[in-house]
Amino acid sequence: MHFCVSSGCTSDLASYQLHNPTSSIPQCSAEDSAHSSQKPIEKPLEKRELRLMKNREAARECRRKKKEYIRCLEQRVVVLENQRKSLMEELRALKDIHKVE
């Protein structure tokens, strides 16, 4: 599952995927610093630590996106509810006009 965190708040999964490629997220992970240093990480323990750290960050980001996605959906509910109300009012008004005629 992918969450909508696009600024447009469309809650559209496809558009989220298009507009929010993972590469757009600025990251300065330990991997970068590991690569920038001369020797690559080889020890299994260090490899594991690195993986855990990256996954920790990923989980945090994933939860942040999920919260944002839910917030977008909630906003959308409000907007759609308002639209529904005004359309109902419009319908009522039109019916009244037809009654008079």
Partner DNA sequence: AAGGAGGTACGTCACGAACT
Partner DNA sequence: AGTTCGTGACGTACCTCCTT
CB of 80 to DNA, least distance (A): 23
CB of residue 71 to DNA, shortest distance in Å: 12
Write out the two tokens for 70. Answer: 């839910």
How deeply is 54 buried, as exposed, middle or buried, from its count of CB atoms within 10 A (0-12, 13-18, 19+)? middle
- Give residues in contact with DNA (CB under 7 A): 1-3, 22, 25, 31, 52-56, 58-63, 65-67
By beta-carbon proximity to DNA, the closer residue of 52 and 73 is 52
**Cβ–Cβ < 8 Å for 20, 10:** no
| Measured distance between the N- and C-terminal CA atoms of the chain, rounded to whole angstroms | 53
**Rounded Cα distance, 81 and 26, in Å:** 36
Please, which residue, 3 or 6, has the CB nearer to DNA?
3
Q: From the CB of 17, what's the least distance to DNA, in Å?
A: 9
Q: How far is the CB of 1 from DNA (least distance, A)?
A: 3
Distance CA 46, CA 10 (A): 41
